[in-house]
């Protein structure tokens, strides 16, 4: 039986093509009473306003020099909102207002390291959220990354942190004593085989590791026709959502922050995201 969750949807301000159909594409989801919607539009006395990450927050993970370099790009504000959504989602979950969250982003996390950025990732929102949760006394975390590419930035930040299990589905196998794991996803993998890898490689480890929070970097660029094509179908992310949500329900009272990562197609985004959110909310 599906377990209903209080799910927060964080939708800061965006420009660009891939999210053009949102939030309208969430019709039939936003009206459910276990779903709350936060956006970056009306700031005054609005608890559902998505706040951008402040420089003080960014400095918990990134170097001053790197932040200054991002300021010299055109994307500082948008990147601050993207990270801000993830931070706010994590804090809302900690405070008990919601159980899990889906965070729309203009820019992803996983290629942003302590002192560098690239690949359309400027700030590492998950890493900043984890730094802030640690200040609140939360100790153990898992990050699972299903973007097609290696999460070099996230790995840079947590490579020697034994309290963070970092499981990255990418192009090579790797494992070390600090809880960093890469799982190679072969070309032409079926959805079923990918889901089994999730169960065997992530769920099993998460059960043993017992994180208090799970972060999911959801890239959809491994879908057929995308720029990280591994051959999976557009239905695979929702199947993964069910497995990851069940794991969070078993190990950490459902505390799960899902963060939109790579993927470029507008039609795919419009198809995938509402289905993933329905799984998170138990509406699937």
Quote the least distance from Cβ 55 to Zn ion, whole Å.
27
Give the residue with the Cβ less far from Zn ion, 92 or 182. Answer: 182
Give the residue with the Cβ less far from Zn ion, 142 or 168. Answer: 168
Give the residue with the Cβ less far from Zn ion, 94 or 143. Answer: 143
Give the residue with the Cβ less far from Zn ion, 26 or 185. Answer: 185
d(CA 157, CA 83): 15
Mind giving me the DSSP string for the chain?
Answer: -PPP--EEEEE----SSTTTTTTGGGTTTTTSTTEEEEESS--TT-TTBPPPPPHHHHTTTS-HHHHHHHHTSS-HHHHHHHHHHHHHHHHHHHHTS-SEEEE--SSBSTT--SS--BTTB-S-HHHHHHHHHHHTT---EEEEE-SSS--HHHHHHHTT-TTEEEEEEESS-EE-TTSEEEEE--TT--HHHHHHHIIIIIIHHHHHH--SEEEEEE--TTBTTSTT--SB-TTHHHHHHHHHHHHHHHHSTT-EEEEE-S---HHHHHHHHHHHHHHHHT--
Give the residue with the Cβ less far from Zn ion, 86 or 146. Answer: 146
Q: Decide: is 182 part of the binding site for Zn ion (CB under 5 A).
A: yes
Q: Decide: is 166 part of the binding site for Zn ion (CB under 5 A).
A: no
Q: Decide: is 197 part of the binding site for Zn ion (CB under 5 A).
A: no
Q: Decide: is 108 part of the binding site for Zn ion (CB under 5 A).
A: no
Give the residue with the Cβ less far from Zn ion, 92 or 221. Answer: 221
Size of the site for Zn ion (CB under 5 A): 11
Q: Decide: is 262 part of the binding site for Zn ion (CB under 5 A).
A: yes
Q: Decide: is 99 part of the binding site for Zn ion (CB under 5 A).
A: no
Quote the least distance from Cβ 159 to Zn ion, whole Å.
12
Q: Decide: is 278 part of the binding site for Zn ion (CB under 5 A).
A: no
Quote the least distance from Cβ 283 to Zn ion, whole Å.
28
Quote the least distance from Cβ 150 to Zn ion, whole Å.
4
Q: Decide: is 221 part of the binding site for Zn ion (CB under 5 A).
A: yes
d(CA 30, CA 226): 28
Q: Decide: is 232 part of the binding site for Zn ion (CB under 5 A).
A: no
Q: Decide: is 149 part of the binding site for Zn ion (CB under 5 A).
A: yes
Which residues, listed in sequence order, are joined to residue 182 by a DSSP beta bridge?
168, 174
Give the residue with the Cβ less far from Zn ion, 99 or 145. Answer: 145
Quote the least distance from Cβ 4 to Zn ion, whole Å.
32
Lookup: tokens for 162: 């034994």
Looking at residues 60 to 79 of the shown chain, list those that interact with Zn ion (rule: CB under 5 A).
none
Match 């779903």 to its residue by tokens.
Answer: 35
Nearest-5° Cα angle at 240, 31 to 164? 105
> Which residue in 5, 6, 18, 150 binds Zn ion (CB under 5 A)?
150
Give the residue with the Cβ less far from Zn ion, 80 or 148. Answer: 148
Q: Decide: is 234 part of the binding site for Zn ion (CB under 5 A).
A: no
Residues lying near Zn ion in the complex (CB under 5 A): 147-150, 168, 170, 182, 219, 221, 228, 262
């Amino acid at each position: 039986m599906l377990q209903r969750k209080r799910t927060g949807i964080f939708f800061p301000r965006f420009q660009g093509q891939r999210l053009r159909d949102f939030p309208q594409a969430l019709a039939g989801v936003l009206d459910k009473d276990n779903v709350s919607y936060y956006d970056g539009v009306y700031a005054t006395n609005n608890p559902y306003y998505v706040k951008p990450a402040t420089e003080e927050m960014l400095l918990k993970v990134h170097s001053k020099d790197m932040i200054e370099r991002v300021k010299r790009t055109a994307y500082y504000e948008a990147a601050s909102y993207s990270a801000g959504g993830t931070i706010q989602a994590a804090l809302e979950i900690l405070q008990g207002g919601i159980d899990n969250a889906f965070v729309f982003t203009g820019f992803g996390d996983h290629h942003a390291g302590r002192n560098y950025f690239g690949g359309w990732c400027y700030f590492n929102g998950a890493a900043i959220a984890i730094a802030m949760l640690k200040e609140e006394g939360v100790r153990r975390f898992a990050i699972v990354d299903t973007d097609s590419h290696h999460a070099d930035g996230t790995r840079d930040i947590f490579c020697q942190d034994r309290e963070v299990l970092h499981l990255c589905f990418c192009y090579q196998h790797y494992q070390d004593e600090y809880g960093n794991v890469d799982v190679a996803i072969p070309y032409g993998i079926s959805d079923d085989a990918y889901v089994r890898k999730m169960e065997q490689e992530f769920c099993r480890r998460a059960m043993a590791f017992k994180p208090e929070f799970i972060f999911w970097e959801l890239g959809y660029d491994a879908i057929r026709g995308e720029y990280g094509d591994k051959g999976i179908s557009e239905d695979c992310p929702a199947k993964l959502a069910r497995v990851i949500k069940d794991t969070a329900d078993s190990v950490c009272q459902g505390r799960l922050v899902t963060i939109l990562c790579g993927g470029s197609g507008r039609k795919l985004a419009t198809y995938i995201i509402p289905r993933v959110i329905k799984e998170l909310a138990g509406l699937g």
